[in-house]
Structure 1
Amino acid sequence: MSEKAKWYDRVFGKKLIKCDSTNNSNDFQSVGTTEILQSVQITGIYFSFANINTQSDDFLKKLHDLYDKLNGSCSNGEMDRKLEVVQVVMWAHNDNYGDFEVSHRDSLMGLPWFAMPFSETSLKTRLSRRYRIKSGVPTLVLLDKDGATISVSAQEKLLEDPNGINFPWRPRPVDEVLKDVVLQPGGTYFQEHPKGIQKDLQYRDLSEGVRGFYFSANWCPPCRAFTPQLAEVYKLIRKKEPNFEVIFVSSDRSGESYSAYLESMPWLTIPFQQASVRAELAQLYGIRGIPTLLLLDSNGHVITMDARTELIEDPLAQNFPWKPRAVNILTDRFLTKLHDYPAIVLFVDTEETELQFAESVLIPAANNYYKINNINFASIFEDRLFSMCNQDDYFLQFLVGTDSESTDILRDLIGLDDVVPLLVALDIPNRRFATMEYGIEITTESVNDFVRKFQDNDLEFKAIHDVGVENAENL
């Protein structure tokens, strides 16, 4: 097998269960993941919810029909199948079943594909976070033969195209989606753009520069609170980057609400009547909630999916356009990423000199680590919705923990000594951590050595106690 094949085991675990049990033994056959997926053209991850089957029956039937249609002409058994489905059974409300394992089994009986075993709870949780799955919303994610993500919301395409005429529904690039759309100016657009095009402005007419897509709605209180902040920072950025532009993608429920919201906006918008375009953009970027602000570079590549948080943390836009960094401050959003990837965390005081010290020893070590392992850390943090590559298996974060609530929570949960500086290898996915020995000076060289020992499994790891793990999973 090639190196690329490793993504199967990493994503789903080494064993899947075959769902076509028609007897009453209640025992599903266990099959090697790579054996099933190594020659499949498209892999579908079907996130289902055991206690909302009545809501997903129609979708399940359509998926079953498409599965049979696409694979009916396969002449080589399991090999070279056009579509294989791996079902991930979850629960929308954990108190609806007394016996979760029975409900898990019942929801899979008689289906023609495969599923993740009931026991793979950690991998299921990681997958649901990776694809931002909403509780109670059946979701179909499509991956190509190399594990790259084709779609994070293919269930909508299946309902539109149940015969799979355009399967696997590869998304159009943003310039194609907006090719025939005439953009509408916001209420204060021409105050900010006195020389702007007065009519029939299209996406291709925009000057080359960073583009922001703002998914928001007037009915959403967090959106209404964030919009004035974005407007102020937008004007600030345009003083330095006059080609920066934002395009509003509305989730409003009426034209009146949309028009009222638009009055205070100094940027452009997709017209409200272009509902299919707005829906396609949301599907293209896997938008699961609002407000969301994402940034694209001049080539249409995602810079960040979380520009809203970046803006809130950097209201003067000093780090715009907020490209992914090798070393980050441990804030709430990076706290949640600790569930997915291990991290090297250097805890220091909040003084500017301490922050400078932390970055001076961590940045060279981080860059060295990424170079040696041929890792593009930007693709892990920002493009994981659109690609999954085998580098994911070895990814390590580098974080600076300052005197903050996030840091205090983490220290308490893991049981770390309240001393600084303190260098820690934190591996929540494997429920373990290790600290650099006291007395060793923290330098780039010693951090490099610490990272190497982590990779070689040569550190003195301690177990994260069960209470800490349970609480950490709720961070």
Structure 2
Amino acid sequence: MDHKSQWHERLFGQQLLKCDTNSPKSGDFLCVATPEVLQNVQITGVYFSFANISQQSDEFTKKLKVLYERLNQENCEVKKFEVVQVVLWANNDVFSDFENSHRDSLVGLPWFAVPFSEIDLKTRLSRRYRIKSGVPTLVLLDRDGGTISVSAQDRLLEDPLGSSFPWRPRPVDQVLKDVVLQKGGTFSKEHPCTKPEFRYSDLPDAVRGFYFSANWCPPCRAFTPQLAEVYRLIRKKEPGFEIVFVSSDRSAESFEAYVEGMPWLVVPWQQAGVRAELAQLYGIRGIPTLLLLDRNGHIITMDARTELAEDPMAQNFPWKPRAVNILTERFANKLHDYPAIVLFVDGEETELQFAESVLSPAADSYYKKHNINFNSAPEDFFSNCEDDHYLQFLIGLDSETSDILRDLIGLDDVVPLLVGIDIPNRRFAVMEYGVEITVDSVSDFVERFQKGEVKFIELNERVGEEQS
């Protein structure tokens, strides 16, 4: 079995529940091997439902069931459409009967589901596809596990019989092909020599940003002036850089008031269909969202807002994914899903350079070995990996985030300190004291960490106690 055909298990685990096999006596579902379910399927739908918001999920489930049965009317060797349901809970602090609700959500459905016990797997899936709590969501994947759409639920509501299924999105240049972009209120001031009409095709061959925001949204109103300042800063270095604003405003008056202070281009208010299609194309789950595209239209980052907050002078613009990153809250949150190699050092520039110099070779080697492509879309980041044991490579500077992580694990306050952290398996390992941290020793530690040949410590033990 080649590595592309293994994506089923990496994504959904080894077994799936067959929803129409629930036993009245035991309440158990039949388990089927995941590859057996999905290996001969053209399109896989990942359906995220919410057990304790049953009315909204039930209505969408009915529509999805009609589509499923319609697409699979013919008994072919290659199945046209299969669904894997992922049952989640919104506001689960007020809902207690999780397991019974999970079973009730699935009984009698014609497709498959991730088992109730796979809590961590479901959490990773919801993070991977940026699922918004309480919003039933349908993600469509092609035969190789590549993402077709992260918001196909909207298209299903528009086209319930699936006449255009699988609703492959148009590329952005096609979506905006016939749109004359509006100029923000201060656009001409920032662009003194410009043509009277601007289309997307007129933009320079450079990095482009799409800013999804609205006047009624307080975080948006707070972020927009910051973005305008950084936008001007970036354009001094990269004059071809441009932003297109996509509004979620609720009235034309609110929209016009908002764009009055904007120095970039704007999708006009009357182009409601275009604005909606852009939001679907990029799977926008909330605002404000700032994403960046490279000159070929490929996503560089979906989270340029956070990148900007961490790099307000835009020194690392356009914030392409890197093999080695500074340990910030954003990367610390990923520790719940993926293990990491963390090198703690002082915050001085020379120490940062040292950390990058010894971590980068090991990181580059690891990502090359495991076929991890930094240039793919965020949700497809791991689809071509040979396995799902993804490692982050992080530098812990003298910061609050580093202090919190040290306290969580129980690490001594010494530098430099190299640690392998595996929160999903509740364990960690520390490079032996006295060993010089070099390119070779780091690479050796990473190799042994991957193979499980280091001395692991349970997360509830302290390093000092282990070594005393």
Q: Shorter-chain TM-score: what band?
A: over 0.9
What residue in structure 2 maps to residue 357 of structure 1? Answer: 354
What residue in structure 2 maps to residue 182 of structure 1? Answer: 180
Match of 1:94 among 78, 92, 95: 92
Q: Does 1:314 align with 2:311?
A: yes
Partner amino acid, structure 1, of 2:69: D
Distance in 1 (CA, whole Å) between partners of 2:151 and 2:219 is: 24
2:410, 2:461 within 8 Å by CA — same for their partners in 1? no
Shift of 1:338: 1.6
Deviations 1:67-108 (A, max 9, x none): 1111110234xxx11111111111112244442111111111
Q: Which moved more, 1:397-406 or 1:387-396?
A: 387-396
What residue in structure 1 maps to residue 445 of structure 2? Answer: 450
Distance in 2 (CA, whole Å) between partners of 1:361 and 1:96 is: 48
Distance in 2 (CA, whole Å) between partners of 1:290 and 1:386 is: 23
Unaligned residue ranges in structure 1 (runs of 5+): 468-475
Change in CA separation of 1:351 and 1:221 when aligned onto 2, cut-off 3 Å: same
Change in CA separation of 1:316 and 1:305 when aligned onto 2, cut-off 3 Å: same
Q: Does 1:114 align with 2:112?
A: yes
What residue in structure 1 maps to residue 345 of structure 2? Answer: 348
Partner amino acid, structure 1, of 2:440: E
TM alignment of 1:3-152, pairs within 5 A: 3-21=3-21, 23-25=23-25, 26-76=27-77, 80-152=78-150
Distance in 1 (CA, whole Å) between partners of 2:6 and 2:16 is: 15
2:374, 2:381 within 8 Å by CA — same for their partners in 1? no
Distance in 1 (CA, whole Å) between partners of 2:387 and 2:332 is: 18
The secondary structure found in structure 2 opposite 1:312 is helix
Shift of 1:317: 1.6
Task: With the length of structure 2 as denominator, give the TM-score of the two structures.
Answer: 0.95
Distance in 2 (CA, whole Å) between partners of 1:73 and 1:39 is: 14
Shift of 1:383: 2.6
Deviations 1:344-385 (A, max 9, x none): 100111122211211121122222222333332343xx5325
Match of 2:404 among 403, 409, 426: 409
Distance in 2 (CA, whole Å) between partners of 1:152 and 1:272 is: 25
Distance in 2 (CA, whole Å) between partners of 1:90 and 1:232 is: 40
Shift of 1:21: 3.2
Distance in 1 (CA, whole Å) between partners of 2:23 and 2:238 is: 66
What residue in structure 2 maps to residue 425 of structure 1? Answer: 420
Shift of 1:40: 0.8
Partner amino acid, structure 1, of 2:17: I
Distance in 1 (CA, whole Å) between partners of 2:167 and 2:382 is: 16
Partner amino acid, structure 1, of 2:178: D
What residue in structure 2 maps to residue 324 of structure 1? Answer: 321
Unaligned residue ranges in structure 2 (runs of 5+): 463-468
Match of 2:193 among 183, 192, 195: 195
Runs of 4+ in 1 over 4 A off after TM superposition: none
RMSD: 1.7
What residue in structure 1 maps to residue 219 of structure 2? Answer: 222
Distance in 2 (CA, whole Å) between partners of 1:22 and 1:298 is: 51
The secondary structure found in structure 2 opposite 1:338 is helix
Change in CA separation of 1:265 and 1:368 when aligned onto 2, cut-off 3 Å: same
What residue in structure 2 maps to residue 282 of structure 1? Answer: 279
Task: With the length of structure 1 as denominator, give the TM-score of the two structures.
Answer: 0.94
Partner amino acid, structure 2, of 1:206: L
The secondary structure found in structure 1 opposite 2:92 is coil
Deviations 1:242-265 (A, max 9, x none): 111000011111111110000110
How many correspondences in the alignment?
461
Distance in 2 (CA, whole Å) between partners of 1:242 and 1:446 is: 43
Partner amino acid, structure 2, of 1:113: W
Shift of 1:290: 1.1
Q: Does 1:384 align with 2:379?
A: yes
2:370, 2:387 within 8 Å by CA — same for their partners in 1? no
Identity in percent: 71
Partner amino acid, structure 1, of 2:371: N
Match of 2:153 among 147, 152, 155: 155
Q: Which moved more, 1:226-235 or 1:94-103?
A: 94-103
Q: Which moved more, 1:435-444 or 1:305-314?
A: 305-314
Change in CA separation of 1:129 and 1:96 when aligned onto 2, cut-off 3 Å: same
Change in CA separation of 1:228 and 1:385 when aligned onto 2, cut-off 3 Å: farther
Change in CA separation of 1:383 and 1:22 when aligned onto 2, cut-off 3 Å: closer
